[in-house]
Copies of this chain bind each other. A is one copy, B any other.
């Protein structure tokens, strides 16, 4: 077993790196959803397709978390917060361009 005095800081650094990677992924995710909103506005498409359904996405997340070791309720909470932020941003964009 590695010495605790070296293992603890290494683990804490790994947590920091993971947080950074999650933020980078979230940034890419926002660029995707911005572009999705833009395309939907341009083409008069509804955001209420089966893919946009919050419940469908939640179900998908529940299935994915079964193997990930992430508590399902936490995953759903996080995803809801992300989707709330995306929806608020898309409302702002629609108001700006309508």
Interface residues of A, Cβ cutoff 8 Å to B: 4, 7-8, 11-12, 14-16, 18-33, 35-36, 39-40, 42-43, 45, 51, 57, 60-61, 64-65, 68-71, 74-75, 77-79, 81-82, 85, 89
Q: Is the CB of A8 within 8 A of B39?
A: yes
Q: Is the CB of A29 within 8 A of B51?
A: no
Min Cβ gap A38→B in Å is 10
Q: Is the CB of A64 within 8 A of B31?
A: no
Q: Which residue of B lies closest to A67 (CB)?
A: B27
Q: Is the CB of B27 within 8 A of A70?
A: yes
**Given contacts A11-B36, A12-B36, A81-B81, A64 and B23 within 8 Å (CB-CB):** yes
